[in-house]
Chains A and B, each alone.
Chain A
């Protein structure tokens, strides 16, 4: 295999693995703020137990998020040196801003959140939780600004330098705010953050459903599931809106990607597939479709013209079937997520949720849905960006490190596969262990039993 494909696999693998964790931290952060806020207001010790227990789960996801995030920060330079030189002005600024504005805030107050229960007052502790949650969101802002600029570059110009007899080109900032608020930043940010809230809330829903099924920590489970279901329902409704806005933006700014998302080959009215399989050779899709639906969703007219893949030379098209499948997988999971959230809230309102074993079983496994949707959504967005690393400006194949050899990329890929497999196994083992041990119930027993404390 050549350097390009290996470097792409390595990046995809390391970023996909990393992306399991930050959404959990962001989503759990919101839930922690709500739980601790309720505790501060009502002084109900149950909410104190909840905040403490979910903080432990948060700590676990945060640790792996940080450890795997450093890899990402360095990987642009190690594997994509030409890209780094080309976008250093812009991409580098966003990464540096992320460090200064987000990571310091997050990691600093995390110390108080984890170790400060007995060192600071409840208000200061709550403030720290709020800052950690805010920091997690700030980091999402800056990294998504950087990614969105790759997708829809704005606020820059290309500068050519003559070095010896070679020409070099690179993007330089001309308008900082235009770069930050490039055409896809806001849509992508809102869609991603809602995805993160879903990841966090469904983890809480799943674990709480498990407790309710096992009839362990029942009050804890009920109170937790109520908080999480509320967040999940809000986020899943928002997800439909932000998803629609994102698709509008893609239609306007990245029409080739949009055509690939729905396997739309010939320019004209566009259909929407519920599922299907793309045959890229002859440009057809076999599957179940709603005729004219994509045209209607974008322009409220089933006959409206949507640019097809036939408008692009083959070398300028993304891999169509892959983009199509990831996109439909995301949408499918999104629909299920909304259905489970809405049904869950309905049953909670009717008072049947906590005893309906079927629904609790579904909820227990539903933790996977936002994870799959988040991964598939990113894959659709990034595979659909191909063959460009910076849309319409720099091709992925031209962005590599010139001095890095295939065997070096392969050996580091093997190294990371090994390390991440180990990390994942340990993560699942510890998560399982924490969940089985359950919360140390101050509220019920009056004292924290040591046997329930995994940190002891």
Chain B
């Protein structure tokens, strides 16, 4: 099996795992992205029934979507332990805040419906929305830092983080954080609209244009900042012009969203939004390759798919595990989405 990848496709295991980890985190962004987006939009809805519809639109799937993050983290640990160790210990406080936000998000969904009192539900609504917002923001800030580069140094033969928590909050990273919030809000808004009907559906439809405009403005500013200040991210596009196709597809996907919304093809709009996210992640991956974390200012300490990887044996074993596991995962993920297709209806089992 390993030979197929190495010889037939001309990929080495390190590249295969760069792709696989990328796919897992892209899966997370696309799937949990709309959960977090629904959370960000949650407080804009007012009545209890509307909020229940919002929650139940993601009710059966959010938990499985979050597993993409858990598995992505596990895959990173297994395939590139040096990245896992350096980034997680380096971004210590940021990760702790992310964990706290994800916990609040998760338990708020679960607990909100358990009591009917107004104060109880309002408190968990706030937990759900704030947890989603902060999670999205921190994920974006982390991506911004990885693209911009973080101060790394070598201590006792290991590459370690040499910066500070506040140093991670520079304008470029924060801009990527805001862009991620806007992207997830748009994605979540489209998803929630697709899953609802009646007045809430119309309300969400009205909000989508605003979220699309907000995202495009953020996206334009982020792209401008990247072109001016982080030229390394676009170097590959100059070297291999074919990659420009990905960037063009990305723009087409984004531009297609308002068009599909206008024609009331909600599912197509959602697919376009997914495509936009996938191509964005692809551009990010193309820009980073073969680095996993850039060292800035001293590029020699960068973590790459070679100096950060596990042994070839482990990468090979993990590939077999992935080839057995991932098709199963895709099959029953598809089944679950199929079973819960169609518009959300509140019943006695709903949140």
Report if A100-B322 is in contact (Cβ < 8 Å); known contacts: A172-B311, A456-B348: yes
Which chain B residues lie closer than 8 Å to A166 at the CB level? 154, 156-157
Decide yes or no whether B84 CB sits under 8 A from chain A. Answer: yes
Interface contact B156-A168, CB-CB below 8 Å: yes
Which chain A residues lie closer than 8 Å to B262 at the CB level? none
Q: How far apart are the CA atoms of A77 and B106 in the complex, in Å?
A: 22
Which chain B residues lie closer than 8 Å to A448 at the CB level? 348
Interface contact A453-B158, CB-CB below 8 Å: no
Decide yes or no whether A181 CB sits under 8 A from chain B. Answer: no
CB < 8 Å neighbour of A89 from B311, B321, B339, B351 = B311
Within 8 A of B (CB), among A407-451: 408, 411-412, 415-416, 419, 423, 426, 430, 433-434, 448, 450
A169 CB, nearest partner CB in chain B, Å? 9
Which chain B residues lie closer than 8 Å to A71 at the CB level? 99, 103
Q: How far apart are the CA atoms of A87 and B84 in the complex, in Å?
A: 12
Interface centre among B80, B158, B313, B349 (most CB of A within 10 A): B349
Decide yes or no whether B267 CB sits under 8 A from chain A. Answer: no
Which chain A residues lie closer than 8 Å to B90 at the CB level? 403
B193 CB, nearest partner CB in chain A, Å? 21
Which residue of A is nearest B329, CB measured?
Answer: A104
Interface contact B157-A92, CB-CB below 8 Å: no
Interface contact B84-A88, CB-CB below 8 Å: yes
How would residues 83 to 96 of chain B score, 1 for a CB under 8 Å from any chain A CB and 0 otherwise?
01111111011011
Report if A168-B79 is in contact (Cβ < 8 Å); known contacts: A107-B63, A114-B60, A448-B348: no
How would residues 315 to 351 of chain B score, 1 for a CB under 8 Å from any chain A CB and 0 otherwise?
0011001100110110011011001100000011111
A104 CB, nearest partner CB in chain B, Å? 4
How would residues 94 to 124 of chain A score, 1 for a CB under 8 Å from any chain B CB and 0 otherwise?
0111111101110111111011111110000
Decide yes or no whether A93 CB sits under 8 A from chain B. Answer: yes
Decide yes or no whether A70 CB sits under 8 A from chain B. Answer: yes
Report if A426-B95 is in contact (Cβ < 8 Å); known contacts: A120-B339, A401-B89: no
Q: How far apart are the CA atoms of A426 and B114 in the complex, in Å?
A: 10
Contact segment of B64-72, B221-229, B280-288: B64-72
Interface contact B93-A412, CB-CB below 8 Å: yes
Decide yes or no whether B245 CB sits under 8 A from chain A. Answer: no
Q: How far apart are the CA atoms of A64 and B155 in the complex, in Å?
A: 38
Summed over the interface, the residue pairs from A and B with CB atoms below 8 Å come to a total of 259
Report if A66-B66 is in contact (Cβ < 8 Å); known contacts: A85-B81, A96-B74, A415-B100: yes
Report if A104-B74 is in contact (Cβ < 8 Å); known contacts: A120-B339, A419-B103: no
How would residues 52 to 66 of chain B score, 1 for a CB under 8 Å from any chain A CB and 0 otherwise?
000000011101101
Q: How far apart are the CA atoms of A412 and B85 in the complex, in Å?
A: 17
Interface contact B339-A119, CB-CB below 8 Å: yes
Which residue of B is nearest A400, CB measured?
Answer: B89
Q: How far apart are the CA atoms of A207 and B321 in the complex, in Å?
A: 41
Interface contact B73-A73, CB-CB below 8 Å: yes
CB < 8 Å neighbour of B158 from A82, A107, A110 = A82
Which residue of B is nearest A104, CB measured?
Answer: B329
Interface contact B74-A95, CB-CB below 8 Å: yes
Which chain B residues lie closer than 8 Å to A110 at the CB level? 63-64
Report if A455-B351 is in contact (Cβ < 8 Å); known contacts: A101-B325, A166-B156: yes
Interface contact A92-B79, CB-CB below 8 Å: yes
Which chain A residues lie closer than 8 Å to B103 at the CB level? 67-68, 70-71, 419, 423
B110 CB, nearest partner CB in chain A, Å? 4
Decide yes or no whether B180 CB sits under 8 A from chain A. Answer: no
A59 CB, nearest partner CB in chain B, Å? 7
Report if A70-B69 is in contact (Cβ < 8 Å); known contacts: A111-B336, A419-B103, A453-B348: yes
Interface size class of A (residues with CB under 8 A): 35 or more
A412 CB, nearest partner CB in chain B, Å? 4
Interface contact A111-B60, CB-CB below 8 Å: yes
Within 8 A of B (CB), among A44-73: 59-60, 63-64, 66-71, 73
User: Residues on B close to A: CB < 8 A?
Assistant: 59-61, 63-64, 66-67, 69-71, 73-82, 84-90, 92-93, 95-96, 99-100, 102-104, 106-107, 109-111, 113-115, 154-158, 160-162, 310-311, 313-314, 317-318, 321-322, 325-326, 328-329, 332-333, 335-336, 339-340, 347-351
A112-B60, A116-B340, A433-B114 known, 9 other contacts, Cβ within 8 Å? A89-B78, A96-B75, A103-B70, A104-B329, A162-B157, A172-B310, A172-B311, A408-B92, A415-B96
A to B CB contacts below 8 Å, 29 in the list:
A63-B107, A77-B73, A81-B85, A84-B88, A92-B78, A97-B321, A100-B71, A104-B325, A104-B332, A105-B332, A107-B63, A111-B60, A111-B64, A111-B340, A116-B60, A161-B157, A162-B157, A163-B154, A164-B154, A173-B311, A173-B313, A401-B89, A402-B89, A403-B89, A412-B92, A415-B96, A419-B103, A434-B114, A454-B113
User: Residues on A close to B: CB < 8 A?
Assistant: 59-60, 63-64, 66-71, 73-74, 76-79, 81-82, 84-85, 87-93, 95-101, 103-105, 107-112, 114-120, 159, 161-164, 166-168, 170, 172-174, 176, 401-404, 408, 411-412, 415-416, 419, 423, 426, 430, 433-434, 448, 450, 453-456
Closest 8 CB pairs of A and B: A88-B81, A77-B88, A99-B71, A92-B78, A100-B325, A92-B77, A111-B60, A166-B157
